[in-house]
């Protein structure tokens, strides 16, 4: 496990961006203790349905707002309306993080009686937080999947993969890693390219696949898109039209929490996905997860790649690592950091998408 500084990522230990912090269905009126970006938080759903993420520690005497089950505050339900009560002396905090009741004494509520309330958004069945070391407003929108609300698609449950003790840089490397697809996943890659454009990086790949088998040997084509440093949405055309959702969020500097999900269009063309469609989708998700687990096993046991010994034929790792730095440095430096990054890259000895299927994309050597 190595830190962001050791990877030379830049000024900040944790990146700017939207980050998944929970599966929506897991967030209820009982507060959850969660940890990301080297900090502890209390996460809960207010009675109105609103999701609230607060810094965990009460300003009164430092009690964790969500790590208690025995106090009568917790037993009676710490969440009131959209507020939460501290389990120690029952100070109550609003969804804005400000203390709005001290249930004893007669003095005024001190202005310092507050915790930070974070900007959150529910999206794609998950809760995302905006994290910005500079304290700025979101500067991009979370990527959407329009079919997520289409009843003819079977939407999976998130696989909670827990914490992996490797830096997110190692996970990010995967987007450019053309040379691992054969050895790890059994892919027979026919084309592979990466495109970097501001806060978005795309991987386009086509070929055969030993794990995700295609019917009649049809080419499995994928387009994997990171919008920002955390949320990866892969559109797959192969056995079924589907999307894979992968999200990873730094926990401490050098570890990450990872989720995985998959959604499939009803193969029978049903207007509303049937039980059989859902069962088929579950099986397909398990296969996709098995493919992801192949990467995971490597990440779990490898030592940090602080500076790779990259050779001709490797994907554009250095471009991707430069691209990733935009999230670890002040916004003011972004244009400078991206100056030599934006563009389409094809590794030596590999073909770009245009050369194989004829769709246009300008290419340059990696």
Residue 295 found at the interface with Fe ion (CB under 5 A)? yes
Smallest distance from the beta carbon of 177 to Fe ion, in angstroms?
Answer: 7
For residue 220, give the nearest of 186, 271, 173, 194 by alpha carbon.
Answer: 186
Pick one of Fe ion, ligand FES, none as the site partner of residue 295 (Cβ within 5 to 8 A by kind): Fe ion
Give the residue, chosen from 58, 83, 84, 244, that forms a contact with ligand FES under the rule CB under 6 A. 58
Least distance CB 127 / ligand FES (angstroms): 24
Residue placing its CB nearer to ligand FES in the complex, 63 or 176: 63
Site stretch for ligand FES (CB under 6 A), options 82-90, 145-153, 223-231, 283-291: 82-90
Give the span between the Cα atoms of 259 and 233, in whole angstroms: 12
Distance CA 316, CA 202 (A): 12
Selected range binding Fe ion among 25-33, 153-161, 220-228, 289-297, rule: CB under 5 A: 289-297
Of 34, 68, 277, 38, residue with least CA distance to 160: 34
Q: Which is nearer to ligand FES, 61 or 276 (CB)?
A: 61
* Cα gap 52→31, rounded to integer Å: 9
Cβ count near 142 (within 10 Å): 19
CA distance 191 to 204: 8
Among residues 73, 20, 28, 69, the alpha carbon closest in space to that of 52 is found at: 28
Here the tokens at position 350 are 């590999």
- Looking at beta carbons only, is 86 or 341 nearer to ligand FES? 86
Binding status of residue 86 toward ligand FES by CB under 6 A: yes
Which range binds Fe ion by CB under 5 A, 190-198, 248-256, 291-299, 338-346?
291-299
Does 91 interact with ligand FES (rule: CB under 6 A)? Answer: yes
Options 13-21, 60-68, 298-306, 347-355: segment touching ligand FES (CB under 6 A) = 60-68
Beta carbons within 8 Å of 241's beta carbon, 6+ residues apart: 264, 265
* Closest to ligand FES by CB, 5 or 116: 116
Sign of the CA dihedral running 293, 141, 225, 263: positive
Q: Name the site residues for Fe ion (rule: CB under 5 A).
A: 295
Q: Name the site residues for ligand FES (rule: CB under 6 A).
A: 58, 60-61, 63, 86, 88-89, 91
């Amino acid at each position: 496990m190595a830190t962001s500084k050791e990877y030379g990522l830049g000024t900040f230990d944790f990146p700017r961006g939207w980050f998944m912090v929970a599966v929506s269905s897991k967030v209820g009126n009982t507060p959850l203790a969660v940890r990301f970006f080297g900090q502890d938080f209390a996460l809960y759903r207010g009675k109105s349905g609103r999701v609230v993420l607060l810094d965990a520690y009460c300003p009164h005497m430092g009690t964790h707002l969500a790590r208690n089950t025995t106090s009568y505050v917790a037993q009676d339900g710490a969440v009131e309306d959209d507020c939460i009560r501290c389990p120690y002396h029952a100070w109550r905090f609003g969804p804005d993080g400000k203390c709005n009741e001290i249930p004893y004494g007669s003095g005024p509520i001190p202005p310092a009686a507050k915790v930070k309330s974070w900007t959150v958004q529910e999206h794609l069945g998950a809760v995302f937080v905006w994290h910005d070391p500079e304290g700025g407003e979101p500067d991009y929108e979370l990527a959407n999947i329009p079919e997520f609300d289409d009843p003819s698609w079977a939407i999976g449950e998130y696989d909670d993969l827990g914490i992996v003790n490797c830096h997110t840089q190692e996970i990010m490397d995967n987007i450019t890693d053309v040379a691992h697809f054969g050895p790890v996943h059994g892919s027979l890659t026919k084309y592979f390219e990466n495109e970097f454009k501001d806060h978005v990086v795309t991987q386009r790949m086509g070929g055969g696949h030993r794990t995700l088998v295609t019917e009649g040997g049809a080419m499995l084509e994928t387009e994997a898109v990171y919008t920002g440093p955390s949320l990866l949405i892969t559109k797959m055309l192969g056995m079924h039209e589907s999307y894979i959702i992968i999200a990873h969020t730094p926990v401490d500097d050098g570890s990450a929490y990872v989720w995985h999900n998959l959604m499939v269009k009803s193969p029978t063309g049903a207007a509303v996905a049937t039980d059989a469609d859902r069962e088929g989708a579950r099986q397909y998700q398990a296969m996709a997860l098995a493919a992801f687990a192949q990467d995971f096993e490597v990440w779990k046991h490898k030592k940090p790649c602080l500076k790779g010994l990259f050779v001709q034929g490797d994907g554009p790792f250095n471009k991707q690592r430069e691209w990733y730095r935009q999230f670890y440095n002040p916004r003011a430096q972004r244009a400078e950091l991206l100056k030599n990054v934006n563009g389409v890259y094809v590794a030596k000895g590999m073909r770009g998408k245009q050369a194989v299927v004829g769709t246009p994309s300008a290419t340059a050597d990696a």
